């Protein structure tokens, strides 16, 4: 957190529908060198500032891509804003679509996948101070895979 009385980020950043991005917000690689994932980008819309000790990000999973299968102590509040896909949420694989709200609880395994031919974009809110994601062990994969729908879905 900062002691600055005024946020350092711009008061207004226009949305550019051509690149599905915002003025002055860099599109980055999702997680360089961390865990297995495919075709995901990340934009930090609002870094933690002042009395908002949170980070608000936009993630986009390209058609056929997936985010890392992970869990952690911190929660996520997610709003789907583009496309269709599926997500592992609280022990079930669910179809997700634009404007759906998803809450990832502490220690809940989660993974997002875009459907074939369609990108999946979502806003994700997290606490600025948070633990690092844990990746599944072979035992975790075996336990998750007891459910055939989850076994078919996950990309560990
Ligand atoms: Mn996560």
- From the CA of 70, how far away is ligand 1's center (Å)? 6
CA 118–ligand 1 middle distance (angstroms): 22
- Show the low-confidence residues of the chain (pLDDT under 50): 1-2
Q: Please tell me the predicted confidence (pLDDT) of residue 30.
A: 82
Is 5 a member of any domain? no
| Residue 4 domain flag | no
What's the gap between Cα 28 and its chain centre?
A: 13
> Which domain CATH number covers 48?
2.60.120.10
In this prediction the pTM is 0.92
Catalytic residue among 119, 124, 126, 154: 124
The predicted pLDDT at position 9 comes to: 81
- Residue 13 in any domain: the answer is no
> What element of type H or E holds 153?
helix 148-153
Distance 105 CA to ligand 1 centre (A): 10
Q: Is residue 14 part of a domain?
A: no
| The pLDDT of residue 151 | 97
Q: Is 97 domain-assigned?
A: yes
SS3 91: coil
Q: How many domains does the chain have?
A: 1
Domain that holds residue 107: 35-129+136-153
User: Distance from the CA of 13 to the center of ligand 1, in angstroms?
Assistant: 26
Q: Is residue 49 part of a domain?
A: yes
pLDDT for position 2: 47
Q: Is 138 helix (H, G, I), strand (E, B) or coil?
A: helix
CA of 44 to the centre of ligand 1 (A): 15
- Say if 20 falls within a structural domain: no
Q: Has residue 125 been placed in a domain?
A: yes
60 classed as catalytic: no
What pLDDT, in 10s, does the model give residues 100-136?
A: 999 999 999 999 999 999 999 999 999 999 999 999 9
Region of residue 83 (phi > 0: left; psi between -120 and 50: alpha; otherwise: beta): left
């Amino acid at each position: 957190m900062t002691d600055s009385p005024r946020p350092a980020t711009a008061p207004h950043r226009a949305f550019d529908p051509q690149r599905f991005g915002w003025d002055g917000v860099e599109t980055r690689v999702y997680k360089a060198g961390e865990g297995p994932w495919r075709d995901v980008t990340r934009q930090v819309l609002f870094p933690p500032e002042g009395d908002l000790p949170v980070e608000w990000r936009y993630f986009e999973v390209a058609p056929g891509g997936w985010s890392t299968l992970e869990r952690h102590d911190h929660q996520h509040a997610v709003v789907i804003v583009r496309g269709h896909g599926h997500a592992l949420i609280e022990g079930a694989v669910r179809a997700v679509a634009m404007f759906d709200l998803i809450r990832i609880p502490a220690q809940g395994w989660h993974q997002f996948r875009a459907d074939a031919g369609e990108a999946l974009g979502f806003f994700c809110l997290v606490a600025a101070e948070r633990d690092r994601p844990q990746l599944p062990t072979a035992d975790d994969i075996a336990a998750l895979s007891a459910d055939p729908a989850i076994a078919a879905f996950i990309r560990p």
